[in-house]
Structure 1
Amino acid sequence: MINQSIFFAIHPDAPKDMRVFGDKIKSSGTRGSTKAVGFESKDFQPTPGLQIPELISSFRGGIDTILFSFPSVPLYGNTERTDAYKSLIQALRIGTNFIIVHYESDRETIGNWFTAAGHSLSAISWVPIPSYVDFTDWAEDAYVALRDAHDNTFYLMEPWEFPRSGDQLLADSIEEYTHLNSIQAPLIFQGGNCLIADDFWILGKDYYQDTIDYIQDHTLPLRVNPGQKVEDLVRQSFSDYVDKNRPMFVAGTKKKIPLAAYVGSKENDEFILDIVGAGTGPYQPIFHIDMFMSLIGKNEEGKFEMMVGSPKLGNELLGLSDRAHNLQAAYDEIARSFEKEGIIVHRNPLVHYPEFTGRKIPIKYLQNLAIQNPDDKDVNSALKDLYSLGARENDFALVRNWHHITSNNCLVENSEKFGKHVYLPTFGHGEYTQLSALDDHMKDLWESFGFTVHQLGDFNSFAKRQGVVHCISKFIKRSD
C-alpha cells in the first residue's frame, strides 16, 4: 500500500478521511432508543454463540434495514456531501429501517434529513457515539453483517483489527443500542472487500493473502496443524466465522501488481508528479472489490451475472488516453477468473480520473523525501522518471492525483416483492460535466437488465476519497 506519510507530504490538502488509509493491520452520550427496527421480537432464547454464519446478500431481496455513520454534521454543512446523502435518503423506499451512528448533538439535524424525505423517525434506531471519539462515514468496512441461520440472530462480525480512525469501536456501540450482536474473528477482512452472491461469496485477494501472511508470522492466533496447508486453514476459518454454507471465491491477480505509487511525466513542457497508486491494492486494481464489481443476480437460465469495471471502456467513452497505471490487464484477469467459474461477466466503463491538485512541488523537496525514506521504492522511482525527462533540483513538478470514478459502487436490490432496483451515484456535475456520459451509460446498462434506476446526487467528493455509495452504507437485513 502507498506510504501515508509520504502521500500527505506530497499532497497535504488531500482529505484526511480517505477510505484507503488505515487499511493495513498494525502489530458517554445519552442512551438512545433501544428498539431494533426491522427485527422481529423472539419468543424463545437464542442459542449462545454463532452456529451457522450466513452473510447478508449484496444484492438479493429488498433493503429492509440499512446502517449509516454520520461522523459530524458540521463536516457536511451545506456541502456536496450533504446533498449526496440527502439524495440517497430520498431515494430509499418508505418503510426502510435505519440504524444511524451519530453524535448526539447532530441527531435533530440528521432526523430532519429523513423526515423531509418522508421517512418516519420511528424507523430509526439511534446509536450515539461520544463526541470525543473520531469515526468515519465509511459504514461498510469495519465489519461484515451476517445472521446465524440456526436461530435467526443477527451479527456484526469484526476482523482481528481495524485501524481506521475509531471505526473499530462502532460495533460494540451498535450492539448496545440495537438487537445486533458484536463478535470478532481472527481473520483479516473489511466489508468493502466482500461481495455476497447466492451460491458463493467473494473476498478480495489482498485480505486473503494478508490472513495467510499474518498466520505465518504469528500475528493471528491461528495454528496450522501438522500436514495442513495454511490456505486450507484460512478457508476453513472463513467458513467457521463468516459464512458456513457458501464457498468463498478469492478475487485478485495471480501475481502482485507491479505499480509504483508515483509516476513522473512531462506534458506541454511541464513536469508532473502523478499520484497513481493511492487506491490500488497488491493484488487488486482497486483496494476494495466493491469499487469495481457489481452483482446483478441470476438470469432466466439460472446463470449468475455480474459486472466488472473496465478503464479501457471508460477512456473510450470519455475520449481519454489509456495509461499503464489504469491497470486494464488486472481488471481483465479478474473478469476472466469469474467467467471460468461459469459466471456471466458484463464489462462496464470505469474511469481512473486525473485531477491537478493546484500544488507545485520542488524537485529538491522530492530529493529530500527520497533521502529520508531510502527504502521507499515509489518516490525514488518517480524521481528517476523526472530525471530521465530532464528535471533538475531547481525545477518544479505539478502534482496530479488520480482517483476512481466508479458506478460499480452502488446499492442493488433484486427482489421478488419490490422488483429490481439500483441506486447509482452520479458524477456529471459542475466542472465534471464530461462525466455525465458515464452516468447516462450506466443508467442504460442497468435498465437493459430490467432494473429501475434511481440516479442519486453528485458523489464526486466521495470518489475523491476512494469510496462512493456502497461504502457509506451497510445492509443489515434483507427482505424477500
Structure 2
Amino acid sequence: MQQPDQMPAKVRHYPIINELEWEGEQVLSDIAMQRRCIALSLMQEYTALPSQPSLVPTADGALEAIVFTIPAYAVRGENNPLWKVYKDLILKLPEYTHLYILTHQSVEGMLKQWLEQQNLQPRVQLGVVSDAIEMTVWAEDDFELVYDQDGSLYLLQPHSSRRSGDELASYYACERFGWNRAKVPVYFEGGNLLVGDDFFFLGANYAVDTFYDFAKLLVQDKDLHLKKAMTQVYQQYLDKGRILYFISTNIQLPVEQVRSFNRNGEEWKEVLHLKNGAGTVQPIFHIDMFITLAGRNEDGKYQVLVGDPKMASELLGDNHAIWTIPEAFDDIAALLTRLRFEVIRNPLPLTYVDDEQEKVRKWYFATYNNALVEIKGEADKTVWLPTYGYGCWQELKHTDEENKTIWQHLGFKVVMLEDFHPFAEYSGAVHCIKKYMRRGDGQPTG
C-alpha cells in the first residue's frame, strides 16, 4: 500500500481563493442554534407560512429558473478560477433558463458588462448588495424555495445558519427579487435535501440536529414515535405532499482528522474526512455530494446514483478508497435498494491537494454526483457534470469519462463542465453553487 510520503505531489494549477478558506469561521455554536430554535418557535404564530408547501424538484422538469449568489471574490482578479467556472456553466445552460443573480456592488459593473457581451441580460434579474454582506458561492445551502397551492413562492430558511453572511444574503435576495421570506424552527441545508417527483431525501444528520433543537416540544406526545415525529415536522414546513426518507448509514464513521507524516525530510500534516462532525451518520456532510437523482426508468422505478469510492480506486489503480470508509456508501446504496429505488453506482474518487508553503495535504472528493439534472421527458434528459482531469490530476480524466458513459447509458445528454477542483477542495461542486427556483416544460415564460 502506498504511504503518504510516497505519493506524488499534487499542487494547484489555479490561484487559491482565500475567502473559501475563511468561510468555515462563520459557525454558530450548538447552544446558539438551540436558543434560536426556541425563539423562532415562540414567533411561529406571527409568521405567514405556505399552507401546502411543495419543494422544487431536483431533477424532474425543465430548468426554467436558477438562483446564483456570486460574491465579489468569485469574480475579481486575473484568471479567477471560480469566475471561469461560472461563465462556462451559465453559457451551457438552456436558453430558456432564467437567471436570478445576487452579487456584490463592487463587481456589479463587471458582471453587467459580461452579461451584455453574451446577450444574456434579457433573461437575467440582477440583485446587488453591499460588499459588507459576507455571502458565499454556496447558493444551495441557506434556504429552500417552496411553492404554495396558489402558486406563491416562499424562501424558507432554518431557524439559524452556520454561515451568518449567507443568512443575510438570503434576506436581501427576497427584497431584491420580490419573494416571500419565512423562518421555520427546523434545521436543514439545501445540500442535504434531494427532491424527487413524489418523495424527498433528507440527510439524517440535520434531522438529529433538529431533534436536539426541538426535543422538548417533540416529546410532549408520548405516543409519537421519533421517526414519525421528525417526518411530520419536516413535511409540515417543507413539503406536505411528498414522502420523506431519511438517509443514513449504520456504519460508525470517523470525524475530521489531522495527522502528521514525513515528506522529503519535512514534517507535513494531512486532513482526512473533511467536515465530518462527531457522531455523523453520513459519509460526506451533504448527501448531494454522493447521491444524484436520475428520474424513473421504463419500469417506473426511480433511479438514484450513489457514489462508489472503491469503483473509482479500481479504475484509477490507487488505494485511496481505504481512507473513505467505502462500506458506508455501500450501506446507503443497500438502504435505497430496500426502499425500492433503482440504484446505480458511479465512481467517486478521493483525491488530495498539496500546499507546499503550509506543508498541508488536504483530501477531498472529486464528486460527480454533485451535478445538475434536467428531465423533460423520456427522450429529453440532460445532465451537467463537473470535471477534474486537469493539472496534476490527469488520471481523473478516466473518471470524467466513466461517469459520462454511465449517464449516457441512462439515456442522458451529457454536458461536461469546467474544472471544478477550486470548488471541490472546499467540499462542493456545481449542485452547491446554484438553487433551483422553478421547473417546468422549458417553454418561454416571458
TM-score w.r.t. length of structure 2: 0.85
1:435 aligns with 2:396: yes
**SS of match in other structure, 1:262:** strand
Q: 1:454 to 1:308 in 2, by over 3 A?
A: same
Q: 1:201 to 1:23 in 2, by over 3 A?
A: farther
TM-score w.r.t. length of structure 1: 0.79
Q: Is the 8 A contact 1:144 1:156 kept in 2?
A: yes
Alignment of 1:261-410 (within 5 A): 261-265=257-261, 272-281=268-277, 282-359=280-357, 398-410=359-371
**SS of match in other structure, 1:17:** helix
Aligned counterparts of 1:165 and 1:207: Cα–Cα separation in 2 = 18
Deviation at 1:134, TM superposition (A): 1.1
Alignment of 1:91-130 (within 5 A): 91-119=92-120, 121-130=121-130
Q: Which amino acid aligns with 1:278?
A: L
Q: Is the 8 A contact 2:211 2:218 kept in 1?
A: no
1:207-243 CA deviation, whole Å, 9 max, x = no partner?
0111112223x6xx76633433444332111111001
Deviation at 1:317, TM superposition (A): 1.6
Q: Is the 8 A contact 1:201 1:247 kept in 2?
A: yes
Q: Is the 8 A contact 2:254 2:273 kept in 1?
A: no
Aligned counterparts of 2:252 and 2:75: Cα–Cα separation in 1 = 41
Aligned counterparts of 1:339 and 1:472: Cα–Cα separation in 2 = 29
1:137-170 CA deviation, whole Å, 9 max, x = no partner?
100000112111x201111110110021410112
Q: Which amino acid aligns with 1:253?
A: T
Q: Which amino acid aligns with 2:438?
A: K
Aligned counterparts of 1:280 and 1:346: Cα–Cα separation in 2 = 25
Aligned counterparts of 1:205 and 1:199: Cα–Cα separation in 2 = 19
Report what 1:191 is aligned to. 190
Q: Percent identity?
A: 31
Aligned counterparts of 2:231 and 2:419: Cα–Cα separation in 1 = 39
1:243-300 CA deviation, whole Å, 9 max, x = no partner?
1011111111135413451244567877653210223351111100111111100011
1:364-387 CA deviation, whole Å, 9 max, x = no partner?
xxxxxxxxxxxxxxxxxxxxxxxx
Alignment of 1:18-37 (within 5 A): 18=21, 22=26, 26=30, 27=32
Report what 2:57 is aligned to. 57
Aligned counterparts of 1:272 and 1:177: Cα–Cα separation in 2 = 47
Deviates more, 1:459-468 or 1:175-184: 175-184
**SS of match in other structure, 1:428:** coil
Report what 2:223 is aligned to. 227
**SS of match in other structure, 2:20:** coil
Q: Is the 8 A contact 2:231 2:244 kept in 1?
A: yes
Q: Is the 8 A contact 1:20 1:287 kept in 2?
A: no
Q: Which among 374, 377, 387 is matched to residue 426 of structure 1?
A: 387
Aligned counterparts of 2:405 and 2:25: Cα–Cα separation in 1 = 34
Q: 1:332 to 1:465 in 2, by over 3 A?
A: same
Report what 2:152 is aligned to. 153
Q: Is the 8 A contact 1:138 1:473 kept in 2?
A: yes
Aligned counterparts of 1:425 and 1:170: Cα–Cα separation in 2 = 26
Deviation at 1:349, TM superposition (A): 0.6
Report what 2:436 is aligned to. 475
Q: How many residues align?
A: 406
Aligned counterparts of 1:407 and 1:186: Cα–Cα separation in 2 = 32
Report what 1:169 is aligned to. 168
Aligned counterparts of 1:156 and 1:122: Cα–Cα separation in 2 = 24
Report what 1:81 is aligned to. 82
Q: Which stretches in structure 1 are left out of the alignment for 5+ residues?
A: 1-12, 28-47, 361-397
Q: Which amino acid aligns with 2:115?
A: F
Aligned counterparts of 1:23 and 1:299: Cα–Cα separation in 2 = 41
**SS of match in other structure, 2:356:** strand
Deviation at 1:399, TM superposition (A): 2.8
**SS of match in other structure, 1:87:** helix
Aligned counterparts of 1:430 and 1:406: Cα–Cα separation in 2 = 17
Q: Is the 8 A contact 1:62 1:417 kept in 2?
A: no
Q: Which amino acid aligns with 1:167?
A: D
Q: 1:228 to 1:178 in 2, by over 3 A?
A: same
Aligned counterparts of 1:470 and 1:401: Cα–Cα separation in 2 = 22
**SS of match in other structure, 1:284:** coil
Query: What's the Cα RMSD here?
Result: 2.4
Q: 1:24 to 1:230 in 2, by over 3 A?
A: farther
Aligned counterparts of 1:116 and 1:59: Cα–Cα separation in 2 = 30
Aligned counterparts of 2:171 and 2:379: Cα–Cα separation in 1 = 32
Q: Which among 230, 233, 237 is matched to residue 233 of structure 2?
A: 237
Deviates more, 1:429-438 or 1:457-466: 429-438
Report what 2:132 is aligned to. 132
Deviation at 1:15, TM superposition (A): 4.3
Report what 1:17 is aligned to. 20
Aligned counterparts of 1:258 and 1:417: Cα–Cα separation in 2 = 41
Deviates more, 1:317-326 or 1:260-269: 260-269
Report what 2:253 is aligned to. 257
1:142 aligns with 2:122: no
Aligned counterparts of 2:91 and 2:380: Cα–Cα separation in 1 = 18
Alignment of 1:440-459 (within 5 A): 440-459=401-420
Q: 1:222 to 1:259 in 2, by over 3 A?
A: closer
Q: Is the 8 A contact 2:53 2:239 kept in 1?
A: yes
Deviation at 1:179, TM superposition (A): 3.4
Deviates more, 1:97-106 or 1:242-251: 97-106
Q: 1:222 to 1:106 in 2, by over 3 A?
A: farther
Q: Is the 8 A contact 2:321 2:350 kept in 1?
A: no
Report what 2:10 is aligned to. none
Q: 1:76 to 1:435 in 2, by over 3 A?
A: farther
Report what 1:42 is aligned to. none
Aligned counterparts of 2:57 and 2:258: Cα–Cα separation in 1 = 37
Question: Bigger radius of gyration, 1 or 2?
Answer: 1
Q: 1:223 to 1:246 in 2, by over 3 A?
A: same
